[in-house]
Amino acid sequence: MRQLHRKDLWSWSVFDQARNLDFNSLAWIRADGNVLVDPLPISDHDLRHLEELGGAAWIVVTNSDHTRAAAELSLRFGAKLAGPAGERGQLPFACARWLSEGDELVPGLAAIELHGSKTPGELALVLEDTTLITGDLVRGQALGKLNLLPDAKLADRAAALASVRRLAALGQVEAVLVGDGWPIAHGGHALLRALVAELD
Amino acid sequence: MRQLHRKDLWSWSVFDQARNLDFNSLAWIRADGNVLVDPLPISDHDLRHLEELGGAAWIVVTNSDHTRAAAELSLRFGAKLAGPAGERGQLPFACARWLSEGDELVPGLAAIELHGSKTPGELALVLEDTTLITGDLVRGQALGKLNLLPDAKLADRAAALASVRRLAALGQVEAVLVGDGWPIAHGGHALLRALVAELD
Protein backbone atom coordinates (compact mmCIF):
# COMPACT_ATOMS: atom_id res chain seq x y z
CA MET A 1 0.00 0.00 0.00
CA ARG A 2 1.04 3.62 -0.42
CA GLN A 3 1.62 5.79 2.62
CA LEU A 4 -0.62 8.85 2.90
CA HIS A 5 0.02 12.07 4.85
CA ARG A 6 -0.14 10.31 8.23
CA LYS A 7 1.83 7.26 9.25
CA ASP A 8 -1.42 5.52 10.21
CA LEU A 9 -3.08 6.03 6.82
CA TRP A 10 -2.44 3.90 3.73
CA SER A 11 -4.12 3.53 0.38
CA TRP A 12 -4.32 1.15 -2.51
CA SER A 13 -5.74 1.96 -5.90
CA VAL A 14 -7.02 0.62 -9.18
CA PHE A 15 -6.63 2.76 -12.29
CA ASP A 16 -9.95 3.32 -14.04
CA GLN A 17 -9.50 3.45 -17.79
CA ALA A 18 -12.91 5.00 -18.51
CA ARG A 19 -12.13 8.07 -16.37
CA ASN A 20 -8.31 8.12 -16.48
CA LEU A 21 -8.01 8.32 -12.72
CA ASP A 22 -7.34 6.06 -9.77
CA PHE A 23 -10.09 4.56 -7.66
CA ASN A 24 -8.78 4.60 -4.08
CA SER A 25 -9.21 2.58 -0.93
CA LEU A 26 -8.15 3.66 2.51
CA ALA A 27 -6.79 1.84 5.56
CA TRP A 28 -6.67 3.63 8.92
CA ILE A 29 -4.37 1.69 11.25
CA ARG A 30 -5.32 1.98 14.94
CA ALA A 31 -4.68 0.11 18.16
CA ASP A 32 -8.36 -0.67 18.66
CA GLY A 33 -8.87 -2.15 15.21
CA ASN A 34 -8.17 -0.92 11.70
CA VAL A 35 -10.85 0.73 9.57
CA LEU A 36 -11.04 0.32 5.79
CA VAL A 37 -13.00 2.71 3.59
CA ASP A 38 -14.41 1.63 0.21
CA PRO A 39 -11.93 -1.24 -0.22
CA LEU A 40 -11.19 -2.28 -3.79
CA PRO A 41 -9.93 -5.70 -4.83
CA ILE A 42 -6.46 -5.90 -3.32
CA SER A 43 -3.23 -7.39 -4.66
CA ASP A 44 -1.54 -10.26 -2.79
CA HIS A 45 1.27 -7.87 -1.87
CA ASP A 46 -1.04 -5.23 -0.40
CA LEU A 47 -3.12 -7.90 1.33
CA ARG A 48 0.00 -9.21 3.11
CA HIS A 49 0.94 -5.63 3.99
CA LEU A 50 -2.52 -5.01 5.42
CA GLU A 51 -2.39 -8.29 7.35
CA GLU A 52 0.98 -7.28 8.85
CA LEU A 53 -0.66 -4.01 9.94
CA GLY A 54 -3.46 -5.93 11.66
CA GLY A 55 -6.12 -6.61 9.03
CA ALA A 56 -9.41 -4.81 9.64
CA ALA A 57 -12.04 -4.53 12.38
CA TRP A 58 -14.41 -2.28 10.39
CA ILE A 59 -15.13 -1.71 6.73
CA VAL A 60 -17.08 1.42 5.80
CA VAL A 61 -18.76 1.81 2.45
CA THR A 62 -19.53 5.45 1.62
CA ASN A 63 -22.22 4.64 -0.94
CA SER A 64 -23.90 1.71 -2.65
CA ASP A 65 -21.76 2.14 -5.79
CA HIS A 66 -18.62 1.58 -3.71
CA THR A 67 -19.23 -1.89 -2.34
CA ARG A 68 -16.25 -3.15 -4.38
CA ALA A 69 -14.43 -5.88 -2.37
CA ALA A 70 -16.03 -4.93 0.97
CA ALA A 71 -17.95 -8.20 1.46
CA GLU A 72 -14.98 -10.37 0.52
CA LEU A 73 -12.57 -8.51 2.84
CA SER A 74 -15.15 -8.54 5.62
CA LEU A 75 -15.21 -12.33 5.44
CA ARG A 76 -11.42 -12.61 5.26
CA PHE A 77 -10.75 -10.36 8.26
CA GLY A 78 -13.90 -10.97 10.25
CA ALA A 79 -14.49 -7.23 9.93
CA LYS A 80 -17.85 -5.61 10.64
CA LEU A 81 -19.49 -3.66 7.83
CA ALA A 82 -20.89 -0.14 8.04
CA GLY A 83 -22.84 1.71 5.37
CA PRO A 84 -24.98 4.79 4.79
CA ALA A 85 -28.32 4.76 6.63
CA GLY A 86 -29.84 6.48 3.60
CA GLU A 87 -29.01 3.49 1.40
CA ARG A 88 -30.22 0.69 3.64
CA GLY A 89 -31.69 -1.92 1.31
CA GLN A 90 -29.46 -0.87 -1.60
CA LEU A 91 -26.35 -2.68 -0.45
CA PRO A 92 -25.79 -6.36 -1.26
CA PHE A 93 -24.97 -7.15 2.37
CA ALA A 94 -26.22 -6.44 5.87
CA CYS A 95 -24.32 -3.84 7.87
CA ALA A 96 -23.58 -3.94 11.60
CA ARG A 97 -23.91 -0.13 11.62
CA TRP A 98 -25.95 2.18 9.40
CA LEU A 99 -24.38 5.62 9.65
CA SER A 100 -26.32 8.88 9.70
CA GLU A 101 -25.29 12.51 10.02
CA GLY A 102 -22.92 13.00 12.95
CA ASP A 103 -22.54 9.32 13.85
CA GLU A 104 -19.09 8.27 14.99
CA LEU A 105 -18.15 4.81 13.77
CA VAL A 106 -15.19 4.72 16.16
CA PRO A 107 -13.82 7.64 18.19
CA GLY A 108 -12.46 10.28 15.83
CA LEU A 109 -14.23 9.10 12.67
CA ALA A 110 -17.51 10.92 12.06
CA ALA A 111 -20.03 10.63 9.24
CA ILE A 112 -21.54 13.45 7.21
CA GLU A 113 -24.58 12.77 5.04
CA LEU A 114 -24.44 14.29 1.59
CA HIS A 115 -27.46 14.97 -0.58
CA GLY A 116 -28.13 15.16 -4.29
CA SER A 117 -25.27 12.86 -5.31
CA LYS A 118 -25.75 9.80 -7.51
CA THR A 119 -26.93 7.65 -4.61
CA PRO A 120 -29.35 8.98 -1.97
CA GLY A 121 -27.33 8.59 1.24
CA GLU A 122 -23.70 9.03 0.26
CA LEU A 123 -21.41 9.61 3.23
CA ALA A 124 -18.31 11.68 3.68
CA LEU A 125 -16.15 10.93 6.71
CA VAL A 126 -14.12 13.28 8.85
CA LEU A 127 -11.09 11.87 10.61
CA GLU A 128 -10.04 13.84 13.69
CA ASP A 129 -11.36 17.10 12.15
CA THR A 130 -8.41 17.47 9.79
CA THR A 131 -8.81 14.74 7.16
CA LEU A 132 -11.90 14.64 4.97
CA ILE A 133 -12.64 11.35 3.22
CA THR A 134 -15.01 11.49 0.24
CA GLY A 135 -16.66 8.79 -1.82
CA ASP A 136 -18.02 10.03 -5.13
CA LEU A 137 -19.37 13.58 -4.93
CA VAL A 138 -16.03 15.33 -4.43
CA ARG A 139 -13.15 13.98 -6.48
CA GLY A 140 -9.70 14.80 -7.83
CA GLN A 141 -9.51 14.44 -11.60
CA ALA A 142 -6.45 16.71 -11.83
CA LEU A 143 -3.56 16.77 -9.36
CA GLY A 144 -3.96 19.40 -6.61
CA LYS A 145 -7.55 20.42 -7.40
CA LEU A 146 -10.99 19.18 -6.38
CA ASN A 147 -13.92 18.75 -8.72
CA LEU A 148 -17.52 17.64 -8.53
CA LEU A 149 -19.13 14.51 -9.91
CA PRO A 150 -20.40 15.45 -13.41
CA ASP A 151 -23.85 17.08 -13.48
CA ALA A 152 -25.31 14.19 -15.48
CA LYS A 153 -24.68 11.91 -12.51
CA LEU A 154 -26.14 14.18 -9.84
CA ALA A 155 -29.65 13.41 -8.59
CA ASP A 156 -30.13 17.05 -7.50
CA ARG A 157 -27.45 19.61 -8.31
CA ALA A 158 -28.67 22.27 -5.87
CA ALA A 159 -28.72 19.77 -3.01
CA ALA A 160 -25.28 18.51 -4.03
CA LEU A 161 -23.88 22.06 -4.01
CA ALA A 162 -25.37 22.66 -0.58
CA SER A 163 -23.57 19.53 0.63
CA VAL A 164 -20.27 20.66 -0.85
CA ARG A 165 -20.76 24.04 0.86
CA ARG A 166 -21.09 22.18 4.15
CA LEU A 167 -17.81 20.36 3.51
CA ALA A 168 -16.16 23.67 2.60
CA ALA A 169 -17.28 25.08 5.95
CA LEU A 170 -15.16 22.53 7.86
CA GLY A 171 -12.43 25.00 8.74
CA GLN A 172 -9.84 22.55 10.06
CA VAL A 173 -9.67 20.28 7.03
CA GLU A 174 -6.09 19.96 5.75
CA ALA A 175 -6.22 16.71 3.78
CA VAL A 176 -8.91 15.49 1.41
CA LEU A 177 -8.74 11.80 0.57
CA VAL A 178 -10.99 11.31 -2.42
CA GLY A 179 -12.46 7.99 -3.48
CA ASP A 180 -11.70 8.81 -7.10
CA GLY A 181 -8.61 10.68 -8.27
CA TRP A 182 -5.63 12.38 -6.62
CA PRO A 183 -5.61 12.81 -2.84
CA ILE A 184 -4.79 16.19 -1.27
CA ALA A 185 -2.40 16.47 1.68
CA HIS A 186 -2.40 20.20 2.36
CA GLY A 187 -4.75 23.15 2.03
CA GLY A 188 -7.89 21.06 1.75
CA HIS A 189 -10.12 23.73 3.25
CA ALA A 190 -8.98 26.33 0.69
CA LEU A 191 -9.39 23.84 -2.16
CA LEU A 192 -12.94 23.02 -1.03
CA ARG A 193 -13.73 26.73 -0.92
CA ALA A 194 -12.25 27.15 -4.39
CA LEU A 195 -14.49 24.33 -5.61
CA VAL A 196 -17.56 26.03 -4.17
CA ALA A 197 -16.57 29.36 -5.74
CA GLU A 198 -16.14 27.68 -9.12
CA LEU A 199 -19.54 25.98 -8.93
CA ASP A 200 -21.55 28.94 -7.68
CA MET B 1 -2.90 8.38 -18.11
CA ARG B 2 -3.64 10.53 -15.09
CA GLN B 3 -3.91 14.28 -15.43
CA LEU B 4 -1.42 16.28 -13.41
CA HIS B 5 -1.70 19.92 -12.24
CA ARG B 6 -1.54 21.30 -15.80
CA LYS B 7 -3.73 20.25 -18.69
CA ASP B 8 -0.62 19.53 -20.75
CA LEU B 9 0.95 17.18 -18.20
CA TRP B 10 0.00 13.53 -17.75
CA SER B 11 1.52 10.62 -15.89
CA TRP B 12 1.40 6.88 -15.78
CA SER B 13 2.77 4.73 -12.98
CA VAL B 14 3.78 1.29 -11.89
CA PHE B 15 3.45 0.38 -8.21
CA ASP B 16 6.75 -0.86 -6.77
CA GLN B 17 6.16 -3.55 -4.17
CA ALA B 18 9.66 -3.36 -2.68
CA ARG B 19 9.23 0.31 -1.76
CA ASN B 20 5.44 0.60 -1.49
CA LEU B 21 5.30 3.57 -3.80
CA ASP B 22 4.55 4.37 -7.42
CA PHE B 23 7.25 4.74 -10.05
CA ASN B 24 6.08 7.56 -12.31
CA SER B 25 6.46 8.58 -15.93
CA LEU B 26 5.62 11.95 -17.35
CA ALA B 27 4.23 13.17 -20.67
CA TRP B 28 4.40 16.88 -21.53
CA ILE B 29 2.04 17.56 -24.43
CA ARG B 30 3.16 20.44 -26.67
CA ALA B 31 2.48 21.69 -30.17
CA ASP B 32 6.09 21.24 -31.24
CA GLY B 33 6.33 17.63 -30.11
CA ASN B 34 5.61 15.88 -26.84
CA VAL B 35 8.33 15.10 -24.31
CA LEU B 36 8.34 11.98 -22.13
CA VAL B 37 10.42 11.73 -18.97
CA ASP B 38 11.60 8.37 -17.60
CA PRO B 39 8.85 6.37 -19.37
CA LEU B 40 7.89 3.08 -17.78
CA PRO B 41 6.31 0.18 -19.61
CA ILE B 42 2.90 1.48 -20.63
CA SER B 43 -0.50 -0.23 -20.75
CA ASP B 44 -2.35 -0.56 -24.05
CA HIS B 45 -4.91 1.94 -22.77
CA ASP B 46 -2.32 4.57 -21.84
CA LEU B 47 -0.42 3.94 -25.06
CA ARG B 48 -3.56 4.68 -27.10
CA HIS B 49 -4.16 7.78 -24.95
CA LEU B 50 -0.61 8.96 -25.57
CA GLU B 51 -0.94 8.27 -29.28
CA GLU B 52 -4.14 10.35 -29.38
CA LEU B 53 -2.20 13.17 -27.71
CA GLY B 54 0.48 12.97 -30.39
CA GLY B 55 2.99 10.31 -29.29
CA ALA B 56 6.43 11.68 -28.47
CA ALA B 57 9.17 13.68 -30.15
CA TRP B 58 11.65 13.47 -27.25
CA ILE B 59 12.27 11.02 -24.43
CA VAL B 60 14.44 12.20 -21.55
CA VAL B 61 16.02 9.80 -19.11
CA THR B 62 17.08 11.48 -15.86
CA ASN B 63 19.58 8.80 -14.89
CA SER B 64 20.93 5.45 -16.03
CA ASP B 65 18.72 3.55 -13.56
CA HIS B 66 15.61 5.03 -15.21
CA THR B 67 15.99 3.74 -18.75
CA ARG B 68 12.84 1.63 -18.25
CA ALA B 69 10.86 1.52 -21.54
CA ALA B 70 12.68 4.50 -23.11
CA ALA B 71 14.32 2.58 -25.95
CA GLU B 72 11.12 0.70 -26.85
CA LEU B 73 8.98 3.86 -26.89
CA SER B 74 11.66 5.72 -28.84
CA LEU B 75 11.38 3.08 -31.57
CA ARG B 76 7.59 3.10 -31.50
CA PHE B 77 7.22 6.88 -31.77
CA GLY B 78 10.39 7.71 -33.66
CA ALA B 79 11.29 9.87 -30.66
CA LYS B 80 14.80 11.16 -30.05
CA LEU B 81 16.49 10.19 -26.80
CA ALA B 82 18.18 12.54 -24.34
CA GLY B 83 20.19 11.57 -21.27
CA PRO B 84 22.57 12.97 -18.66
CA ALA B 85 25.94 14.03 -20.02
CA GLY B 86 27.51 12.76 -16.79
CA GLU B 87 26.32 9.22 -17.56
CA ARG B 88 27.37 8.95 -21.18
CA GLY B 89 28.52 5.38 -21.66
CA GLN B 90 26.29 4.06 -18.88
CA LEU B 91 23.06 4.03 -20.88
CA PRO B 92 22.17 1.07 -23.07
CA PHE B 93 21.43 3.34 -26.05
CA ALA B 94 22.86 6.32 -27.87
CA CYS B 95 21.28 9.70 -27.16
CA ALA B 96 20.70 12.49 -29.66
CA ARG B 97 21.33 14.97 -26.81
CA TRP B 98 23.47 14.64 -23.69
CA LEU B 99 22.23 17.22 -21.21
CA SER B 100 24.44 19.21 -18.88
CA GLU B 101 23.74 21.92 -16.34
CA GLY B 102 21.56 24.64 -17.80
CA ASP B 103 20.87 22.97 -21.14
CA GLU B 104 17.39 23.42 -22.55
CA LEU B 105 16.11 20.32 -24.31
CA VAL B 106 13.25 22.32 -25.82
CA PRO B 107 12.22 25.87 -24.91
CA GLY B 108 11.00 25.93 -21.31
CA LEU B 109 12.54 22.63 -20.19
CA ALA B 110 15.94 23.08 -18.54
CA ALA B 111 18.31 20.55 -17.00
CA ILE B 112 19.97 20.76 -13.60
CA GLU B 113 22.86 18.42 -12.81
CA LEU B 114 22.71 16.83 -9.39
CA HIS B 115 25.69 15.39 -7.55
CA GLY B 116 26.23 12.67 -5.00
CA SER B 117 23.16 10.64 -5.94
CA LYS B 118 23.29 6.95 -6.83
CA THR B 119 24.38 7.61 -10.40
CA PRO B 120 27.00 10.26 -11.24
CA GLY B 121 25.09 12.60 -13.56
CA GLU B 122 21.45 12.45 -12.44
CA LEU B 123 19.36 15.25 -13.87
CA ALA B 124 16.46 17.22 -12.49
CA LEU B 125 14.37 19.18 -14.97
CA VAL B 126 12.63 22.51 -14.52
CA LEU B 127 9.57 23.17 -16.63
CA GLU B 128 8.80 26.85 -17.13
CA ASP B 129 10.34 27.73 -13.73
CA THR B 130 7.35 26.44 -11.77
CA THR B 131 7.40 22.65 -12.10
CA LEU B 132 10.39 20.67 -10.86
CA ILE B 133 10.79 17.14 -12.20
CA THR B 134 13.03 14.80 -10.23
CA GLY B 135 14.36 11.33 -10.96
CA ASP B 136 15.70 9.53 -7.92
CA LEU B 137 17.35 11.89 -5.43
CA VAL B 138 14.19 13.70 -4.31
CA ARG B 139 11.14 11.52 -3.87
CA GLY B 140 7.72 11.35 -2.21
CA GLN B 141 7.35 8.29 -0.01
CA ALA B 142 4.49 9.86 1.97
CA LEU B 143 1.73 12.02 0.51
CA GLY B 144 2.45 15.75 0.67
CA LYS B 145 6.06 15.53 1.80
CA LEU B 146 9.43 15.18 0.06
CA ASN B 147 12.22 12.90 1.16
CA LEU B 148 15.72 12.01 0.06
CA LEU B 149 17.00 8.79 -1.44
CA PRO B 150 18.21 6.66 1.52
CA ASP B 151 21.77 7.38 2.66
CA ALA B 152 22.89 3.87 1.75
CA LYS B 153 22.20 4.66 -1.90
CA LEU B 154 23.95 8.03 -2.01
CA ALA B 155 27.43 8.16 -3.53
CA ASP B 156 28.26 11.32 -1.55
CA ARG B 157 25.79 12.60 1.01
CA ALA B 158 27.32 16.08 1.36
CA ALA B 159 27.27 16.59 -2.40
CA ALA B 160 23.68 15.29 -2.55
CA LEU B 161 22.60 17.75 0.16
CA ALA B 162 24.26 20.59 -1.72
CA SER B 163 22.26 19.60 -4.79
CA VAL B 164 19.01 19.51 -2.82
CA ARG B 165 19.84 22.96 -1.45
CA ARG B 166 20.15 24.20 -5.03
CA LEU B 167 16.70 22.81 -5.84
CA ALA B 168 15.31 24.43 -2.69
CA ALA B 169 16.67 27.78 -3.88
CA LEU B 170 14.42 27.72 -6.96
CA GLY B 171 11.95 30.22 -5.59
CA GLN B 172 9.21 29.86 -8.20
CA VAL B 173 8.73 26.11 -7.89
CA GLU B 174 5.09 25.24 -7.14
CA ALA B 175 4.87 21.62 -8.29
CA VAL B 176 7.35 18.81 -7.77
CA LEU B 177 6.83 15.78 -9.97
CA VAL B 178 8.92 13.02 -8.45
CA GLY B 179 10.05 9.92 -10.30
CA ASP B 180 9.23 7.80 -7.27
CA GLY B 181 6.26 8.41 -4.98
CA TRP B 182 3.52 11.01 -4.68
CA PRO B 183 3.68 14.14 -6.84
CA ILE B 184 3.21 17.61 -5.31
CA ALA B 185 0.96 20.22 -6.95
CA HIS B 186 1.30 23.16 -4.59
CA GLY B 187 3.89 24.64 -2.24
CA GLY B 188 6.82 22.79 -3.74
CA HIS B 189 9.34 25.49 -2.82
CA ALA B 190 8.33 25.36 0.86
CA LEU B 191 8.41 21.56 0.86
CA LEU B 192 11.90 21.56 -0.64
CA ARG B 193 13.02 24.02 2.03
CA ALA B 194 11.45 21.80 4.69
CA LEU B 195 13.38 18.84 3.29
CA VAL B 196 16.66 20.77 3.49
CA ALA B 197 15.87 21.87 7.06
CA GLU B 198 15.18 18.27 8.04
CA LEU B 199 18.42 17.00 6.52
CA ASP B 200 20.73 19.72 7.84
Tens of pLDDT, residue by residue over A137-186, are: 999 999 999 999 999 999 999 999 999 999 999 999 999 999 999 999 99
**Domain at B186, CATH number:** 3.60.15.10
Give domain status of residue A39, yes or no.
Answer: yes
Give domain status of residue B161, yes or no.
Answer: yes
> What's the number of domains chain B is made of?
1
State mean pLDDT over B84-108: 97
Give domain status of residue A142, yes or no.
Answer: yes
Tell if the CB–CB gap between B5 and A175 is shorter than 8 Å.
Answer: no
User: What are the Cα distances from residue B165, in Å, to A14, A84, B171?
Assistant: 36, 49, 11
Give domain status of residue A84, yes or no.
Answer: yes
What's the angle, vertex CA A145, arms to CA A139 and CA A149, rounded to 5? Answer: 30
Contact A15, A45 (CB under 8 A): no
A19 touches chain B (CB under 8 A): no
A130 touches chain B (CB under 8 A): no
State mean pLDDT over A5-31: 98
For residue B77, what pLDDT band results from cuts at 50, 70 and 90?
very high
- Which of B17, B49, B144 is facing A186, going by the closest CB pair? B144
Cα four-point dihedral sign A158, A160, A163, A164: negative
Of B147, B197, B193, nearest in space to B170 by CA: B193
Q: What residues in A contact B145, CB-CB < 8 Å?
A: 5, 185
Of B147, B134, B175, B177, nearest in space to A186 by CA: B175
Residue A200, pLDDT score: 84
Rounded to the nearest angstrom, the minimum Cα separation between A91 and chain B is 30
Q: Could you report the per-residue pLDDT of A54-94, keeping only the tens digit for each?
A: 999 999 999 999 999 999 999 999 999 999 999 999 999 99
Q: What residues in B contact A189, CB-CB < 8 Å?
A: none
For residue B98, what pLDDT band results from cuts at 50, 70 and 90?
very high
CB atoms within 10 A of CB B197: 9
Q: What residues in B contact A143, CB-CB < 8 Å?
A: 2-5, 175, 183, 185
Burial A145-157 (b: 16+ CB within 10 A, else e): bbbbbeeeebeee
Q: What residues in B contact A185, CB-CB < 8 Å?
A: 143-145, 182
Give domain status of residue A105, yes or no.
Answer: no
Q: Could you report the per-residue pLDDT of B47-67, keeping only the tens digit for each?
A: 999 999 999 999 999 999 999
For residue B99, what pLDDT band results from cuts at 50, 70 and 90?
very high
Contact A28, A1 (CB under 8 A): no
Give domain status of residue A24, yes or no.
Answer: yes
Tell if the CB–CB gap between B185 and A4 is shorter than 8 Å.
Answer: no
User: What are the Cα distances from residue B97, in Å, to B25, B31, B85, B103, B112?
Assistant: 19, 20, 8, 10, 14
Predicted complex ipTM: 0.96
Domain span at residue B20 reads: 2-100+110-199
Give domain status of residue B84, yes or no.
Answer: yes
Give domain status of residue A23, yes or no.
Answer: yes
Rounded to the nearest angstrom, the minimum Cα separation between B174 and chain A is 11
CB atoms within 10 A of CB A121: 23
pTM, full prediction:
0.97
